[in-house]
């Protein structure tokens, strides 16, 4: 079971190497393709690249009476623990969640590479950047191996935080606020 320190370590060591070109859609579902790099703690230059998608249902503003919450589908126990921790003690991150999302993670493909994480990250960023014209919702993230799902959720929470101003503006323009 993870502690608050474990979550904090994962959050502090999550880095977006290449961000998606688009944000979360206001009036529809959004599907992000991710590549998450983690370094093995047991082997030098052993890098896991996890690849998959996260689907975020269309944003729904919560009324002030409700608590922000995250519903997770196909995530493991550590991600569930993180969501519970975020609900109860997430501090400033919990305040950023003004949406009623259900995040769905598709099955993840895992590749093992033997190189430095810097070189793998550079090559992967170059490959994904070249495809972003056709796949603007792709991202490359660096994280922590044992808490990789927490890193993925942090990336998602940051997308929510970054998308919120535009989504609120869209809702205002449509007269929904």
Under 8 Å between Cβ of 140 and 37:
yes
- Residue 173 placed within a domain: no
Model confidence at 62: pLDDT above 50:
no
- Residue 40 placed within a domain: yes
- Residue 171 placed within a domain: no
pLDDT band at 97 (very low <50, low <70, confident <90, very high): very low
- Residue 175 placed within a domain: no
pLDDT band at 92 (very low <50, low <70, confident <90, very high): very low
Domain that holds residue 57: 4-164
Q: What integer is the mean pLDDT of 27-56?
A: 90
Q: Nearest CA to 72 among 63, 85, 62, 61?
A: 85
Share of the chain above pLDDT 70, in %: 79
- Residue 157 placed within a domain: yes
- Residue 177 placed within a domain: no
- Residue 174 placed within a domain: no
- Residue 169 placed within a domain: no
Count of structural domains, the chain: 1
Q: Nearest CA to 32 among 106, 138, 109?
A: 138
Largest CA distance in the chain: 55
């Amino acid at each position: 079971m993870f502690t608050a320190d474990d979550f904090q370590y994962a959050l502090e060591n999550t880095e977006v190497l290449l961000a998606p070109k688009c944000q979360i859609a206001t009036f529809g579902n959004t599907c992000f393709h991710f590549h998450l790099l983690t370094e093995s703690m047991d082997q030098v230059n052993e890098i896991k690249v996890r690849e998959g998608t996260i689907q975020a249902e269309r944003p729904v503003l919560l009324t002030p009476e409700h608590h922000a919450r995250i519903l997770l589908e196909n995530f493991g126990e550590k991600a569930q623990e993180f969501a519970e921790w975020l609900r109860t003690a997430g501090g400033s991150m919990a305040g950023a969640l003004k949406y009623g999302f259900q995040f769905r993670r598709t099955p993840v493909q895992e590749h093992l590479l033997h190189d430095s994480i810097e070189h793998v990250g550079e090559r992967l960023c170059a490959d994904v950047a070249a495809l972003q014209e056709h796949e603007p919702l792709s991202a490359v993230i660096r994280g922590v191996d044992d808490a990789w799902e927490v890193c993925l959720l942090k990336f998602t929470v940051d997308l929510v935080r970054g998308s919120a101003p535009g989504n609120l503006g869209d809702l205002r323009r449509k007269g929904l606020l």
